[in-house]
Amino acid sequence: MTWEEAAQHLRLEADDEEQKPLVEAMIAAASAHIDGPDGWLGRAIGVQTLEARGDVFRDCMSLRYPPIIDIVSVKYLDAAAAEVTILPTEYEVRGSLIGCAFGRRWPSVLAQPESVRIRYRAGFVTNPTADPLVPALPAPIRAAILLMVGDLYRNRETVSAQAVAIPMSTTVENLLAPFRRFY
């Protein structure tokens, strides 16, 4: 989400340098609320590098925060506790799953927690022409972020003695619900 998009949504002047830092902070706050491993959606929104860790290789392992762009590396600790990198020809990505390539087998790993580490890039781009391999941010997520920014902008002084956090509006929640993942 860009300052220009938010300014248009809020009906601000695009050259309003006084409001720009505030609105950019609100964009960041709204995005952070829904993005990544700690976000409400349980998926990657902005492009980010994540790491899945495990004790062993499994036939098909889930990369939990889609959409998956690509694999950065697949590494494991061998029986001698040496880190080994697996070549990309040895595995395949199918959606948000990673598994052995056809006719291949995962190697044995050291019996130790987190001896398998898979680093991957995940997320959406806001500009679909920026990288054709990265999916574009879906319109409902874009609209929800703009609505959240609008709520933050119009209700800057919101205080509730009872609530720990102010809930998202029903419209925002309904826009985001089809994209939410539960683990």
- Alpha-carbon span 122 to 145, nearest angstrom: 19
For residue 106, which amino acid is it?
Answer: W
Q: What is the pLDDT of residues 12-60, one digit of tens each?
A: 987 888 999 999 999 999 999 999 999 999 999 999 999 999 999 999 9
Is the CB of residue 69 less than 8 Å from the CB of residue 126?
A: no
Q: Is residue 132 part of a domain?
A: no
Residues 59 and 119 in one domain: yes
CATH of the domain at 8: 1.10.3230
Helix, strand, or coil (residue 51): strand
Q: What are the start-end ranges of the H helices in the chain?
A: 3-10, 20-34, 139-154, 170-176
**Residues with Cβ < 8 Å from 10, sequence gap 6 or more?**
23, 149, 150, 153
Q: What is the pLDDT of residues 62-108, one digit of tens each?
A: 999 999 999 999 999 999 999 999 999 999 999 999 999 999 999 99
Residues 93 and 162 in one domain: no
For residue 54, which amino acid is it?
Answer: G
Residues 144 and 166 in one domain: yes
Domain residues for the domain of 8 are 3-42+137-179
pTM of the model: 0.83
Q: What is the pLDDT of residues 123-141, one digit of tens each?
A: 987 665 666 666 788 999 9
Cα 175 to Cα 11, 121, 123, 170: the distances in Å are 22, 25, 18, 9
**Residues with Cβ < 8 Å from 153, sequence gap 6 or more?**
10, 22, 23, 26
Q: Is residue 53 part of a domain?
A: yes
Residues 59 and 28 in one domain: no
- The first and second tokens of residue 88, run together, are 């990309």
- Alpha-carbon span 52 to 65, nearest angstrom: 10
How far does the chain reach from its first CA to its final CA, in angstroms? 27
- The first and second tokens of residue 31, run together, are 């995005």
Residues 172 and 122 in one domain: no
